[in-house]
Amino acid sequence: MTAPQMSAPELSGAHFHLALTPEGWQRNLSVHFAADGTIATMARDDNPDALPVYENPVVPGITDLHSHAFQYAMAGLTEVRRNPVDSFWSWRDMMYFFALNLSPEDMRAVAARLYLSLLKGGYTGIAEFHYVHNDLDGSRYARPEELSLAIFEAAQATGLELTHLPVFYAHSDFGGAAPNEGQRRFIQGLDGYAEMIEALRGPAAAAGHVLGIAPHSLRAATAEEITTLLALRDDKLPGCPVHIHIAEQMKEVNDALAFNGRRPVEQLYDFAPVDDSWCLIHATHLTEAEVSQIARSGAVVGLCPLTEANLGDGIFPATDFLTQGGVFGIGSDSNIATVAAQELQSLEYSQRFRDRRRNVLAATDQPHTGTNLWARAALGGAQAAGRPTGAITPGGMASFVELTSPEPAGLAATAPEASLDFHIFAGRGFHVGDVVVRGRRVVQAGQHPQEQAILADYAAAMTRIADRLNARGTS
């Protein structure tokens, strides 16, 4: 694939008829952008001149805080029952099989295709939790960071802001159990991981990507190893985001208890200085004490509602967590869905099913459920990604999404403050006009300038992968 380069125009500012800001919905705002892509000024202005005018509602872009890009290509392939009781763990077998068959070229093509979809799904940034590092046979590439660079190229080709999280993965279970053959492309030693971080620092800085660190889970990394990774972070990437999978499945909780009598979240807080630079992915199965502990620590909980539903993980205690001031964001994780509104709808509905109530995740200061979910997820995602984005406000990134509708908005037009409620809950599809990332219009009127090349590269990659899977007799 020849990585298509962005050619979107720079904007010096914009005028919004209706925009979601930290103070709520505001009308007739003129914003001017600084050279670094932040919002320099923002003011009420009834007679704008010479600025592009957005008549449709504009909302801050959300950072997708958890993605495994390659899994986009296997969406739909695991919806067949192979065991009497199908589970996360049989899904994982297919994921391993898939992960063992992707080349760097495939990774780049699949990630670019995914990122294109995410831009049209309300996202302006991503935190890529990247754990496929090694060549097909498990040996290191000549450039061990080869597959990370493929992710970089996909982000650059699409214009989605990237926080890249190379994953440390060393074991198959608690207590440092030896990895299995299906994990051979994920496995690294601490030295190899440090070399990868060092190799990626320059390219990430040059491209404007944030680098973070990511011990895969307490199954795949021991407390001692995570402590070493945190020392590496202090040395090479001070204050950078730290992400980890935790307490996604009851089996994981039970295995943790069998290992040392402590639940996963208890184990993590026992040894790690978890603060607001951390993001705990899933954190589905929590005691009341753990809910409070995470909320108090300021860590973001990375919820992936549709993947968690798809995998049968369980229901996160969002009402309790938000009541205690907890911060959350949303991730597309397995990438079976690429629309932020669908994730937020699923999150709210999971709580309604459990509590048999409505508008559960609204707030006293923001009674519109859709607005509250979107605004909080945008800020939580930004915090997890280590970027000043997620709010249309001076000093924040000029990264926003224009909401459109293919049909006349009808009654929704008479209640514009219900725009996000409509887009999240009315089920009419999610449609965007312009998507602006750091002052660059990366999607214009619903179209990406490199769309055809990205789709063609993806189709070619799918053909290659299908040939490989067929050759192994398992498609």
Question: Shortest distance, CB of residue 89 to Zn ion, whole angstroms?
Answer: 14
Sign of CA dihedral 266, 268, 270, 272: negative
Nearer to Zn ion, 146 or 333 (CB): 333
Query: Are 33 and 185 contacting, i.e. CB atoms less than 8 angstroms apart?
Result: no
Site for Zn ion in 328-387 (CB under 5 A): 333
Question: Shortest distance, CB of residue 129 to Zn ion, whole angstroms?
Answer: 6
What is the number of other CB atoms lying within 10 angstroms of the CB of residue 259? 16
Question: Shortest distance, CB of residue 407 to Zn ion, whole angstroms?
Answer: 36
Query: Are 169 and 220 contacting, i.e. CB atoms less than 8 angstroms apart?
Result: yes
Q: How far is CA 425 from the centre of its chain?
A: 21
Nearer to Zn ion, 333 or 421 (CB): 333
Nearer to Zn ion, 128 or 333 (CB): 333
Catalytic residue at 282? Answer: yes
Nearer to Zn ion, 161 or 333 (CB): 333
Question: Shortest distance, CB of residue 216 to Zn ion, whole angstroms?
Answer: 9
- How many angstroms separate the CA atoms of 351 and 32, rounded? 39
Nearer to Zn ion, 54 or 72 (CB): 72
Strand partners for 133: none
Cβ neighbours for 428, distance < 8 A, ≥ 6 positions apart: 405, 406, 407, 422
Nearer to Zn ion, 64 or 333 (CB): 333
Length of the chain: 475
**One-letter identity of residue 15:** H
- How many angstroms separate the CA atoms of 147 and 107, rounded? 7
Q: Angle at which helices 146-158 and 190-207 pack, to 10 degrees?
A: 20
- How many angstroms separate the CA atoms of 327 and 347, rounded? 14
Question: Shortest distance, CB of residue 258 to Zn ion, whole angstroms?
Answer: 23
- How many angstroms separate the CA atoms of 454 and 449, rounded? 10
Query: Are 330 and 304 contacting, i.e. CB atoms less than 8 angstroms apart?
Result: yes
Would you give the DSSP letter of residue 37? Answer: S
Nearer to Zn ion, 77 or 412 (CB): 77
- How many angstroms separate the CA atoms of 305 and 337, rounded? 10
Question: Shortest distance, CB of residue 51 to Zn ion, whole angstroms?
Answer: 40
Q: Angle at which helices 146-158 and 104-119 pack, to 10 degrees?
A: 30
Query: Are 1 and 105 contacting, i.e. CB atoms less than 8 angstroms apart?
Result: yes
Where do we find the tokens 């491209």? 207
Of the residues 333, 421, 434, 457, which is catalytic?
A: 333
Which element (helix H / strand E) includes 347? helix 340-355
Binding mask 296-335 for Zn ion (x = CB under 5 A): -------------------------------------x--
Total residues in contact with Zn ion, by rule CB under 5 A: 1
Question: Shortest distance, CB of residue 134 to Zn ion, whole angstroms?
Answer: 19
Question: Shortest distance, CB of residue 245 to Zn ion, whole angstroms?
Answer: 5
Residue 189 burial by Cβ neighbours in a 10 Å radius (0-12, 13-18, 19+): exposed
Of the residues 282, 368, 423, 448, which is catalytic?
A: 282
Ranked by CB distance to Zn ion, the top (closest) residue is 333
What residues are annotated to the active site? Answer: 282, 333
In the complex, the residues that contact Zn ion under the rule CB under 5 A are 333
